[in-house]
Structures are given as structure tokens and as C-alpha cells.
Amino acid sequence: MNFGSDNQSGVSPRILDALVRACSGTAAPYGTDTYTRQAEQKIAELFEHDVRVFFVATGTAANCLSLSALAQPWNSILCHAQAHLISDESTALEFFTGGARLLPIATDSGKITPAALRDTLQRLPDARPHSVRPSALTLTQATENGLVYTPSELQALTSLAHERGLHVHMDGARFANAVAYLGCTPAELSVKAGIDVLSFGASKDGALVAEAVVFFNTSLARDFDLRLKRAGQLVSKGRLFGAQFSAWLQDGHWLELAQAANDRAAALATLLQSHPAVRMTWPVQVNEVFVVMPKTLLAHLHAAGVLCYDWYPGSLPTGFVLGEDELPVRFVTAWSTSSEELDAFAAALAG
């Protein structure tokens, strides 16, 4: 019963088959092959826009290299106070940008709001050359609390950011889950909402190792190939990225996988809500379920073979009172989470 992370899931058979086929014979190196070209074309069609696409191995590389194209060492990048970038990506952002600073925005809702963004920008000192200069806003879709930004919410934020001269990046490690939940088009949730560059994640959604940096504002991609090379992310057998993305996107497979993960999370949430000692902390919108439960119950679940993680008390909604014997806990489902796992979890929860 693995509800630790969607990173821990395996590879979709379709994607694995595509990798096996791509491994036969030879192909041009460094992303100049037909597999990569096909994947780039599919991404352009998916987002209904001319794009520049660069494939990398990790979400951290996708995020931090993306933002290195938007920020100089003397700049700041605004993010949510609980964003993965600031809490779980070490100093990679500072490394790749040469020293740009992350400025956190705390909100009660778990998402950045226009009011919070405006207030943060107004409070920043404008004392050149002494003060840090904001150059970018990064938004996480879905957020670290499993919440999604709607297209209208994104448009409000990107409009304000662009008015202030900031470019907007989206961390889309779970972008597929957000699209599946909202039922809108990928373009409506990105380029049409004012996003300049997207970290488009596949690794959490059935791929082996595959992330894409997608520039909608293609002028920002100038010299990005050099950044990729310098970061050690220009893979010689780039066809393996292309093969994964092509198979992932083919016939909407990526959304089928994301929807399966979302559905399993909804079912898991129903089971958890049925327990009198469990309290939900955030609405379940994608494939993450956040609850508070007694420490003894968590220990019981672990002993029964359930893998899940206690979470950060600081991630709780404002005003949520944590009991002395309680812990916040995160459960994550994946495309491969089975009904048998849910049945076993139900038995463990009731035992």
C-alpha cells in the first residue's frame, strides 16, 4: 500500500514499449533525432502555440533552469511560501541563477492571490542599486497542498505580474492532474492564461525520467541550449526523452493516467473521511490527500504496511488547530494505484 509519492510509481507499459522501440538501432544525438522532433511537434499542438521545448531529467532542473532564463543574480523571484522550489529544491535555484533570491508569499488559501502578490510588490523597496529587483513570479500547478489554479485565477495573477514587468513561470510537476481535474485545455491553463514558461512534468504521471521546459514566450529561450549544456542536462541519447513524451501524449494517454490517479485519491479520501479520528485539511482536487490523524493511528497504518508521510505542521490552513496527539499526513496516489491497494487500506484503517 504505497501512498508515499507518485514519484515512486512505475512506468506506463505504453511508455516502456516506446522506450524499447527507441533503443533499437541508432539515432542522431543531443535531441536532433526524429523522436525528439515528433515530441516537440506534439507539445506545440497540445498547447496550440509556437513553442521552444527543452527536455531535462528532473523537475528541479526544469524549474531552476527555466527561472535562470528569467532572472539575473541581482533579481528576486516571487513564489508561494510552501512552494516546492523554496522548501524542497535545496539551493538549486540560487546555483543555476548565480544568486537570485526567492521571496516567499504566505497566504491563508494555499494559493497566491492577486491581493497578496500586489501587497508583496508594493512592500518591496525600490532603491536601486541597493535593493533586490523582482523579475519573475513562479506558480505551482497543482500546489503543494493539492489545490489547482483556475484559468481566471491565473489570468489575474499573470496580468498583474506582467504589468509590473515580471515574467511568469509555472511549476507543472502535476500539471496533468490539474488539467484532468478542471477539464479545460492545456492551453487555457498555461499560455492562454499568460504563462511565459512551463515546467511540464511527466515523471509523476507514468514516465520513467522525462520533464520538459516549454517556452511560450520564445524570446526567453535565447541561449537556453547553452544553459542546458552547462548544467549537464543535454543528454546524448535525447531520443529517450522524445520517445517517452510522444508515447505519453499520444491519444491523450497522459490525461488517462492523471485521471486514474485523481480518481484513486478521491476514493482514498472517502475512506479516510469515514474514520472518526481523521480530519481533512484541504479539499481533494488532484492526486494528493491531506489529513490530520492521531499519531497512534498513523503508527498502526505504518505497521499494517501503509506507506505515507507525516507532513509539515506549517502547511495547515490558517486557524487549523493541531491536537497534541495529532500529526498532519500526506497520501499520494498514482496512475498505477490499484483497487486492491484501496481495499487493503480500508481493512487496515478499520483494523
Say yes or no to pLDDT of 21 above 90: yes
Query: Which tens digits make up the pLDDT trace of 255-277?
Result: 999 999 999 999 999 999 999 99
DSSP at 147: -
Query: Which tens digits make up the pLDDT trace of 207-258?
Result: 999 999 999 999 999 999 999 999 999 999 999 999 999 999 999 999 999 9
- Secondary structure class of 226 (helix, strand, coil): helix
The terminus-to-terminus CA distance of the chain in angstroms comes to 15
Question: How confident is the model at residue 279, as a pLDDT?
Answer: 97
DSSP character string of 31-99 = T-SHHHHHHHHHHHHHHTS--EEEEES-HHHHHHHHHHTT--TTEEEEEETT-HHHHSSTTHHHHHHTS
Mean pLDDT of 103-128: 93
The helix (run of H) or strand (run of E) holding residue 169 is strand 167-172
Query: Which tens digits make up the pLDDT trace of 157-172?
Result: 999 999 999 999 999 9
**Residue 137: phi, psi to the nearest 5?**
-120, 135
Strands 167-172 and 133-140: parallel
Domains of the chain: 11-253 (3.40.640.10), 255-350 (3.90.1150.10)
Say yes or no to pLDDT of 191 above 90: yes
Query: Which tens digits make up the pLDDT trace of 71-89?
Result: 999 999 999 999 999 999 9
